[in-house]
Structure 1
Amino acid sequence: MNSNKKIIITAIDQRSTVAIVFQTITIGLIMIGSAVGNIGILLAIYKTKSLQNKTSIFVANLAVADLLAGLLIMPFMFICSIIGDWPFEDASCNLTGTFALILGAAGMNTLGAIAYERYCAIVHSMVYHLKITNRLILIVITFIWLEGLVLSLCPILGWSEYIYYTNEYLCTVNWAHDVSFTYTIMVVMYFLPLGVMIFCYASIFKVARRHLRQLAMLDTLSPPSSHNQIVSDSDTQPRIENSARSLRLKRDIKAASMLFIVIGTFVLCWTLHGCTMMCLALGDTCPVDFPEYVYTMTTWIAMFNSVCNVWIYGMMNRQFRDAFRSLCCIACLRSSNTQVIQI
């Protein structure tokens, strides 16, 4: 690469053999974990009827974005982490940068869409089916991918550019080339989804706390009857309502807890990368002089978010856990049957 390939920080690979092996193994594990985990999520949704709901449409969209990141971006990072340079053509750098921007925007904005869908399901449960229709879901998902596509085309059309960062082993936006584009990316891909998630989580938390107070009042007004007492219909009805609200409360708190973990993981994985990105944009005026390995680490932590999403949405949801067990059992049975046939 002659014109587009501008090496940032350093052009000489000064890593030790141990560092090369460690970095290569790390990105390899992230790549495999992302591919296997997100394929598992998609198979679980496809095979399990109870998971085929509105929430799972967004979860599947997130899994597709994370899976494509593992298939289209991380292999280039894997090769570059071994070689220490970009061995491909200019067009490959632009293409990889385009994919990185599209998939990054799709993943982050899908997280915001999931938070809003959960917010409507819990805070506005009575009108949820009127607010979240299949048509709206299709429009939102289409908008998410079109937005990423438009943003990714901007550097190719002249608003910023794609370059290879030596310390990140990745072709991405030249954050220092056009700061206005860098700020736009920060707002669209970070602050807006984060703002939506924080608002939705805060609203869910308020509803859960209000339900908790209502349950406490119901327990006070309708104490449990002894075995010797005859329970009248008037006593039974509040108790049934109490039980139903208790179940809803548990569901709401569980959803709020999962959303809290999503926000925490999102902030941890992308805020660190955002700091180094802004430092590259500011250049010599950056108040912090980060060591080279920090840029590598924060980029890969951001990539690791695609693996984290699998565990958050997969392992914290009982239906997904059951679906994973079924898939594993089916795989084991097929493997054992194949071995029997061979024998």
Structure 2
Amino acid sequence: MADDHAIVNNSNLPLGNAIIRSSVYCLLFITGFFGNLIFLVIFAKCPYMRIPINYFLVNLAIVDITATIFRELALIIGYFNCQWLYNYHTCNLFGFMRNICCAVTIFTLLAISVCRYLVICQHKGRRMTRRAVLCIIAFVWFYTILVCLCPIFGWNRYIYHQNQYVCSIDWSYQPSYIRYIIIVDVFLPTIITIICYTFIYIVVHRHSRRIQDILRMSGSLSSAQYNRIAREKKVTKIMFAVYINFLICYLPFSIITAILIPSGIKPPAELFFVGTFMIDLNSSINPMLYPFIYRRCKEAYCEVLCCHRSQTSPTSNCY
């Protein structure tokens, strides 16, 4: 039975090609693993970073660290034809972890967009407490673990893909599972996320015009109201940038697995490499993205990495 569920790695990738690819993934592993680890350290050391919405970023950082171990290290080993790695049990483990990292990322970004919609469009900000966010994250993990366990217990299966050098679900086996994850775990979250950010943009645009009208008519606006609107706009900008990064990085592989393979088209190995590379690149970009668009995160990086204590009070504006 084990032989039916896992294919032994018999890769004949040329040594030079394997060295180049492994070098690229070594760089991705270093930047992804240590970049996200630094973000977690910053979150732990800087109290002003521990606002509810940032727990979603912590969850993404944990997922990205896990992905660097179970995706990028597995690829580095796979390029050198290490047959010991992919027996039945290890293929299930690596396939499960690979899929759960993708699924948790998708649903965490969905949760972020829905929460931002509730805060900005429905004025439910007081309900978005740390406890509520942690409950959402726990549910995301619970659901994705159940879905990703299905191939281990008979609904589809995890196999070694020789053209990808990784273990993942069998895209040509039991299409009902493939249809389920494409529709429920990819298509619907993407549509809902886009709808949420569309409504958010409309509301933020209206608020901006209203502020301009108030300033033009009265020349004044309460400091608390202005700070609240500016803060929510900044948070949404950060989360939207993270989502755009995700879409760009995941789009090539999504086209391959959701469109080309179900259509009977066999993509070349080079296209698979580009697709998987873009997915893994996402884990390295996220921790670099936060300091550029998140002022307090940049200050926290300087405070921790340069041993410099921020002069800003922890109770002040977090953005």
Once residues 208 and 181 of structure 1 are traced to their aligned partners in structure 2, the CA distance between those partners, rounded to angstroms, is 39
Residue matched to 2:214: 218
User: What is the letter of the counterpart of residue 129 of structure 1?
Assistant: R
Once residues 182 and 190 of structure 2 are traced to their aligned partners in structure 1, the CA distance between those partners, rounded to angstroms, is 11
Task: State the Cα distance separating 1:7 from its structure 2 match.
Answer: 7.2
Question: In the alignment, does 2:173 pair up with 1:173?
Answer: no
Task: State the Cα distance separating 1:154 from its structure 2 match.
Answer: 0.7
Task: State the Cα distance separating 1:64 from its structure 2 match.
Answer: 0.9
Once residues 100 and 156 of structure 1 are traced to their aligned partners in structure 2, the CA distance between those partners, rounded to angstroms, is 13
Residue matched to 1:112: 110
Q: Is the 8 A contact 2:6 2:87 kept in 1?
A: no
Q: Is the 8 A contact 1:169 1:296 kept in 2?
A: no
Secondary structure of the structure 2 residue equivalent to 1:330:
coil
> Size of the alignment, in residue pairs?
307
Question: In the alignment, does 2:273 pair up with 1:276?
Answer: no
Deviates more, 1:195-204 or 1:79-88: 79-88
Q: Is the 8 A contact 1:115 1:200 kept in 2?
A: yes
Once residues 25 and 43 of structure 2 are traced to their aligned partners in structure 1, the CA distance between those partners, rounded to angstroms, is 27
User: What is the letter of the counterpart of residue 299 of structure 1?
Assistant: T
Alpha-carbon RMSD across the aligned residues, in angstroms, is 2.4
Task: State the Cα distance separating 1:135 from its structure 2 match.
Answer: 3.7
Structure 1 residue runs of 5 or longer lacking an equivalent are 224-238, 332-343
Once residues 114 and 313 of structure 1 are traced to their aligned partners in structure 2, the CA distance between those partners, rounded to angstroms, is 15
User: What is the letter of the counterpart of residue 201 of structure 1?
Assistant: Y
Residue matched to 2:28: 30
Listed one character per residue, the Cα deviations across residues 260-285 of structure 1 (whole Å, up to 9, x for unaligned) are 32332222222211121135642xx4
Which of residues 52, 66, 74 in structure 1 aligns to 2:50? 52
Q: Using a 3 Å threshold, how does the CA distance of structure 1 residues 119 and 306 change in structure 2: closer, same or farther?
A: same
Residue matched to 1:96: 94
Which of residues 291, 307, 322 in structure 1 aligns to 2:268? 291
Kindly report which structure 2 residues correspond to 1:1-343, keeping only aligned pairs within 5 A, or say none: 2-6=3-7, 12-13=11-12, 15-83=13-81, 87-125=85-123, 127-130=124-127, 132-223=128-219, 239-241=220-222, 245-278=225-258, 281-282=261-262, 285-286=263-264, 288-330=265-307
Q: Using a 3 Å threshold, how does the CA distance of structure 1 residues 312 and 117 change in structure 2: closer, same or farther?
A: farther
Once residues 289 and 154 of structure 1 are traced to their aligned partners in structure 2, the CA distance between those partners, rounded to angstroms, is 25
Once residues 314 and 17 of structure 1 are traced to their aligned partners in structure 2, the CA distance between those partners, rounded to angstroms, is 38
Secondary structure of the structure 2 residue equivalent to 1:163:
strand
Once residues 48 and 121 of structure 1 are traced to their aligned partners in structure 2, the CA distance between those partners, rounded to angstroms, is 24
TM-score, with structure 1 as normaliser: 0.81
Once residues 82 and 304 of structure 1 are traced to their aligned partners in structure 2, the CA distance between those partners, rounded to angstroms, is 21
User: What is the letter of the counterpart of residue 69 of structure 2?
Assistant: L
Once residues 138 and 250 of structure 1 are traced to their aligned partners in structure 2, the CA distance between those partners, rounded to angstroms, is 25
Q: Using a 3 Å threshold, how does the CA distance of structure 1 residues 50 and 308 change in structure 2: closer, same or farther?
A: same
Deviates more, 1:252-261 or 1:198-207: 252-261
Q: Using a 3 Å threshold, how does the CA distance of structure 1 residues 147 and 79 change in structure 2: closer, same or farther?
A: same
Task: State the Cα distance separating 1:297 from its structure 2 match.
Answer: 1.3
Q: Is the 8 A contact 2:214 2:221 kept in 1?
A: no
Q: Is the 8 A contact 1:159 1:178 kept in 2?
A: yes
Residue matched to 1:229: none
Which entry has the higher C-alpha Rg, 1 or 2? Answer: 1
TM-score, with structure 2 as normaliser: 0.87
Once residues 221 and 258 of structure 2 are traced to their aligned partners in structure 1, the CA distance between those partners, rounded to angstroms, is 55
Residue matched to 2:312: none
Task: State the Cα distance separating 1:133 from its structure 2 match.
Answer: 3.3
Q: Using a 3 Å threshold, how does the CA distance of structure 1 residues 264 and 85 change in structure 2: closer, same or farther?
A: farther
User: What is the letter of the counterpart of residue 114 of structure 2?
Assistant: Y
Task: State the Cα distance separating 1:290 from its structure 2 match.
Answer: 2.6
